[in-house]
């Protein structure tokens, strides 16, 4: 197959930040995806419906700016779907308001797990009332699935989270709908694939392009490579293969979420570099490369365009996008406000391109 046409896809896990960087990063995503679920880990975090709706308006304004600047065409018609940042104090009333105002989901960041998670949840049992409300009204909980105690090896934090937090949580809230975000291990893949959903609530997982493409060696090839550093961290090859197997399978429980996470170049290439891989500029091409590597390109449309929408019970998109086997070089950097943004694969040649 040298060409593939997909129904317009959605990115169900995206970081776009705020302020003057918005037009640039949004123009990348809006050129590839019809919708994206925007993560709420701003500083300060998006903990209220009012702040989520205000953020959505800023995103709309930034899309207009990107269109005026010629980075987007008016026909792109991109829609930002919003999420709320769960804290120890999130009241049930905010969940009800979120449901009423069309906020799509609520995100659990265990405190200390990742970028801007310091206001996150210190003990998930403190959220039991809100979680009950979420289960009742069908508001999905998105989980950053890593335990945070430093005694646990960083490569084991996701697997540990399943037994210590996720499974007990689903037992306590049997109707709760859960998305296990950016899974990185065979353990998480098998938990989601095999989860019992007649007694417990529905569960699905997003998978990033970088976790389908790379294992942990990428962090250390010829030296330390900060642009491959993300959380949860890249794992062993056996885990990558398990994720690729799941993403390209017929299971409806795995769908696309890039976790594209822009950070300024200086803060990535730093003595204590930030976690996050920027893939929004070429995400679909990376997914196509990964699916193609196992001869499963035909499965890409279900993964990228159908299963996420079906899980969230929102309509599938109309319109199409075509990818072809044609080389392109990833730029060394993009503008990012007054800084630079280095994409994953900077300077490398990819074998797939979007037909514009």
Q: Which residues are catalytic?
A: 259
Contact 312, 343 (CB under 8 A): no
- Residue count at the site for ligand DOR (CB under 6 A)? 11
Task: Figure out which of the listed residues 186, 259, 291, 303 binds Zn ion, where binding follows CB under 5 A.
Answer: 259
* Binding residues among 124-153 for ligand DOR as defined by CB under 6 A: 144
> Who's near 144: CB < 8 A, 6+ residues apart?
107, 108, 109, 110, 113, 114, 117, 181, 182, 231
Smallest separation, CB 143 to ligand DOR (Å) = 11
* Binding residues among 27-66 for ligand DOR as defined by CB under 6 A: 41
Contact 300, 286 (CB under 8 A): no
Smallest separation, CB 154 to ligand DOR (Å) = 12
Q: CB nearer to ligand DOR: give 99 or 187.
A: 187
230's contact among Zn ion, ligand DOR, none, with CB below 5 to 8 A by partner kind, is: ligand DOR
Contact 111, 122 (CB under 8 A): yes
Judge if the upstream peptide bond of residue 44 is cis by omega within 30 degrees of 0: yes
Q: CB nearer to ligand DOR: give 33 or 85.
A: 85
Does 201 participate in binding ligand DOR (rule CB under 6 A)? no
* Binding residues among 219-278 for ligand DOR as defined by CB under 6 A: 230-231, 259, 261, 275-276
Task: Figure out which of the listed residues 56, 87, 90, 115 binds ligand DOR, where binding follows CB under 6 A.
Answer: 115
Contact 321, 32 (CB under 8 A): yes
In order, the DSSP letters of 302-354 are IIIIIHHHHHHT-PPPPSEEEEES--EEPPS-EEETTEEEPPTTTTPEES-EE
> Who's near 14: CB < 8 A, 6+ residues apart?
29, 36, 37, 38, 39, 257, 258, 259, 260, 280
Q: CB nearer to ligand DOR: give 49 or 277.
A: 277
| Interface contacts to ligand DOR, rule CB under 6 A | 15, 41, 114-115, 144, 230-231, 259, 261, 275-276
| Interface contacts to Zn ion, rule CB under 5 A | 259
């Amino acid at each position: 197959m040298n060409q593939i046409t997909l129904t317009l896809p959605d990115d169900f896990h995206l970081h776009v930040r705020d302020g003057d960087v918005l037009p640039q990063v949004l123009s990348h995503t809006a050129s590839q995806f019809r919708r994206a679920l925007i993560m709420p880990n701003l500083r300060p975090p998006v903990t209220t419906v009012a702040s989520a709706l205000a953020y959505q308006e800023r995103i709309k304004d930034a899309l207009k700016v990107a269109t005026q600047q010629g980075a987007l065409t008016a026909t792109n018609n991109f829609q930002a779907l919003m999420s709320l940042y769960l804290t120890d104090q999130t009241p049930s009333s905010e969940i009800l308001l979120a449901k009423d105002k069309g906020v799509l989901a609520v995100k659990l960041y265990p405190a200390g797990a990742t970028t801007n998670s310091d206001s996150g949840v210190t003990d998930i049992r403190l959220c039991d009332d809100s979680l009950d409300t979420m289960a009742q009204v069908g508001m999905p909980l998105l989980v950053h699935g890593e335990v945070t105690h430093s005694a646990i090896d960083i490569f084991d934090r996701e697997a540990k989270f399943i037994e210590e937090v996720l499974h007990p949580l689903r037992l306590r809230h049997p109707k709760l709908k859960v998305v296990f975000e950016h899974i990185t291990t065979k353990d998480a893949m098998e938990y989601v694939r095999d989860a019992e959903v007649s007694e417990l609530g529905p569960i699905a997982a997003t998978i990033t392009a970088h976790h389908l493409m790379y294992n942990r060696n990428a962090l250390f090839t010829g030296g330390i490579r900060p642009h491959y550093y993300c959380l949860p961290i890249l794992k062993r090859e056996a885990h990558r293969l398990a994720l690729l197997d799941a993403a390209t399978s017929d299971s409806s429980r795995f769908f696309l979420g890039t976790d594209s996470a822009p950070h300024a170049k200086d803060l990535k290439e730093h003595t204590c570099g930030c976690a996050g891989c920027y893939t929004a500029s070429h995400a679909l091409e990376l997914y196509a490369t990964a699916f193609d590597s196992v001869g499963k390109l035909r499965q890409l449309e279900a993964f990228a365009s159908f299963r996420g929408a079906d899980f969230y019970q929102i309509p599938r998109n109309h319109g199409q996008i075509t990818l072809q086997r044609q080389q392109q070089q990833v730029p060394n950097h993009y503008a990012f406000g007054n800084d630079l943004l280095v994409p994953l694969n900077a300077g490398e040649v990819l074998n797939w391109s979007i037909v514009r």
